[in-house]
Structure 1
Amino acid sequence: MMKKTDLIEVEVQNEAFYTLKVLSKNTDELFDEIADLSTSNKGKFQHAPVILEIENKHFQANELAVLIEILTQNNMVVIGIRSQVQELIDFARFSGLAVFDKSISALKNPETTKPSKKKDPTPEREYRLPKIVVGEVASAQQVFAKDSDLVLLGVVKVDGEVIAHGSVSSYREMQGKVFAGIDGDEKATIFVHSFDAQLVSIAGIYKRFDVVPAKLQLHSVMIDLKEGKLRFQIIK
């Protein structure tokens, strides 16, 4: 009989990977800075594995999705995140990314860490996981995410409606109607990977498209409210 051989070998590698500390939620600024970073240092960051470190407690899952899209378009590979924001941790795990607990510097220098003063415990806000829809949303079908964000992994067909109290993130083509922040949440956002929507609405402020402008059609688009008006940002 032939001896059974192992099918997997584990090797310890010392290849470099990088931690990007995300200090802003402004996608325009992030896009420009990441583009500069990816082309600088003689291509040092091209196809480089990256960990995203996000401390901003108001950073949302759909904003993380946009950031990953920007990095991907600049040939940088996100392998995981480091954050205390539960929404981002849940999104990362669902997306197959690693979740790192501590910074590398903290691991290397534990003796420099000073014990923090005890603080009065404060109750954490109730958090509900985003509703995730894997399949296609058909014409005339309605999907509703009550008291949570909505994540769409399939195409939304013409006349399909997707509705959420929170934000909406669509990772395939959006041909139907999108309603975010339906209870008046003006901080809700909409991210669409491939935009061809009939209508978008945030907190009751809406824009209907009889014909989608060429500059938006089939592009990755981030939509939010600025000064009471819908703002469309193309993620190039």
Structure 2
Amino acid sequence: MTNETPALDFKSATLYAIRLVLHKGDTEALISTLAKRMKESSTFFEDEPVVIDATNLEGSIDWGKLLNALKSHRLPVIGVAAAGEHLFTAKAFGLNEVDLSASPIKPASEPKPAAPEANAGQALPAVAIPPSPAPVPVLSNEPVQTTMVVHGPLRSGQRIYARQRDLIVMGLVSQGAEVIADGNIHVYGPLRGKAMAGALGDQRARIFTTQFEPELVAVAGVYRVVDTKLSANVHKKAAMVFLDGQALNITPLDQ
């Protein structure tokens, strides 16, 4: 009897993807809006897998043009949620059907104006970006029960996901690195990359760091690209990020 290692194995995996929701059956309008959104979000979503949600799309579109536009923005499409003619046509272009019907996360709504600053808190300006990443396949929204601890530093290109738990990073999160958790995120070191808490929709989730200087922060699918200079009371200092309605607020931890 031999213990030869098999050439391959099938194992479960969780893949985060951008859920691109199509509202209008106007191909040119879709391509124009896509270009605008990608320009506003810089390169933050390049090379992120995309699931096209055409479940509520009315009218026909040119799937070839849309897929080429997504490719030109470096957004690889891995599947489609659709029905009827839309699904038939999408499959003809090589797309696989993805079931998002049970997803606990709704597509991100248009950001509301930031609430006025209260004391030391700071509300980031609203930035229009592509719909929030949603887990594919869909995960159940169970209570967070445990904590994942990662010893940094995390380099550019690294991504850590704490499924159904909080995440603690002991060290630097470099620019280009991503930390994602279904619960809270604690970074004991400089946060210079992306941090996404409450990934399955928990609006109570928060982000804590001892040195706040990120590229992007998100709570429960509400995203803000940090492309403007932060106020002196939080920039490169200990801070907390939390969700207030549809506005992300930043508060110094020493107050």
Structure showing greater Rg = 1
TM-score by length of 1: 0.45
Greater helix fraction, Structure 1 or Structure 2: 1
TM-score normalised to the size of structure 2? 0.42
Higher relative contact order (CA closer than 8 Å, sequence separation 6+): 2
